[in-house]
Amino acid sequence: MSTRTAVVTGASSGIGEATARELAKQGYHVYVGARRLDRLEQLAAEIGGTALPLDVTDEQSVRAFTDAVQRCDVLVNNAGGAKGLATVAEADLDDWRWMWETNVLGTLRVTKALLPKLIASGDGLIVTITSIAAFHAYDNGSGYTSAKHAQAVLHRTLRGELLGQPVRLTEIAPGAVETEFSLVRFDGDEDRAANVYKGIDPLVAQDIAEIVGFVASRPPHVNLDTIVVKPRDQAEPGRFARRA
Ligand code: NAP
């Protein structure tokens, strides 16, 4: 039997990077994709995987990436993120475009392209990293919450559309995870990013990676549909127990 193969998008940092390591540990050959190729090459060398450039907002880049993947048993739709925190009245259209292109259309492009290979594998698994922002609306967050809701609905729709096919679908919806997420959201402002996690014990990327690993190691008849995971210190988006 040839080696089982996993694809992780957005594997150059955070949740994606940790997930690629976890799946490699389980024996998968992991294709890692993102825009920062230098980071990916280092990771791929460590885990014996394959690094390929991937911009999920670019049709040609997605085609080149997915054409290079010969076999796909597991797809982790992880590439994504947030830009800014603004009211609807002050919404930045470019930030919205970035969030929708990356989280929503990016997930659509990659999933669509790899679906035939996932089905052909005989036991495919699609894990999509959405967010608790896919379940809640919060002030100043509409660009991100709307994109995560849309990404989640795309994923949940596929669960029904693929019924009868050998593909499982798992949505993982994390609360606050300390990664480069807030640095990206606040355009590299380190102080502002650090404040998000101040006085709480946030989740770390490895926590989510282990959940993906658990999902991927279930037998073919077990479909974990939705997993919501938050730090103990967080009840909802923006509602934390912070120590002084
Ligand atoms: P992160 O450390 O910023 O990682 C984001 C990853 O996405 C990076 O590898 C980045 O790589 C990649 N990416 C961004 N734009 C891309 C594009 N156009 N094409 C390909 N890859 C792209 O943040 P993270 O927390 O690990 O985020 C991973 C996922 O978890 C995201 O979908 C995020 O929305 C979700 N999430 C995060 C949290 C949290 O609190 N951290 C909570 C809930 C959900 P390059 O820049 O190299 O392309």
pLDDT score of 129? 99
- Nearest Cα residue to atom 39 of ligand 1: 177
Q: In whole angstroms, what is the distance from residue 119 CA to residue 165 CA? A: 7
Q: Is the CB of 182 under 6 A from ligand 1?
A: no
- Residue 181 pLDDT > 70: yes
Q: What tens digit of pLDDT does each residue of 97-130 get?
A: 999 999 999 999 999 999 999 999 999 999 999 9
Nearest residue (CA) to ligand 1, atom 46: 35
Q: CATH classification of 5-240, choosing from 2.60.40.10, 3.90.580.10, 3.90.470.20, 3.40.50.720?
A: 3.40.50.720
| Dist. CA 4 → ligand 1 center (Å) | 24
pLDDT band (50, 70, 90) for residue 2: confident
Q: Is 129 in the pocket of ligand 1 (CB under 6 A)?
A: yes
Q: How far apart are CA 27 and CA 6, in angstroms?
A: 10
User: Any catalytic annotation for residue 138?
Assistant: no
Per cent of the chain over pLDDT 70 is 100
pLDDT of residue 1 exceeding 80, the answer is no
Q: What is the Cα–Cα distance from 128 to 1, expressed in whole angstroms?
A: 27
**Contact 102 CB / ligand 1 (< 6 Å):** yes
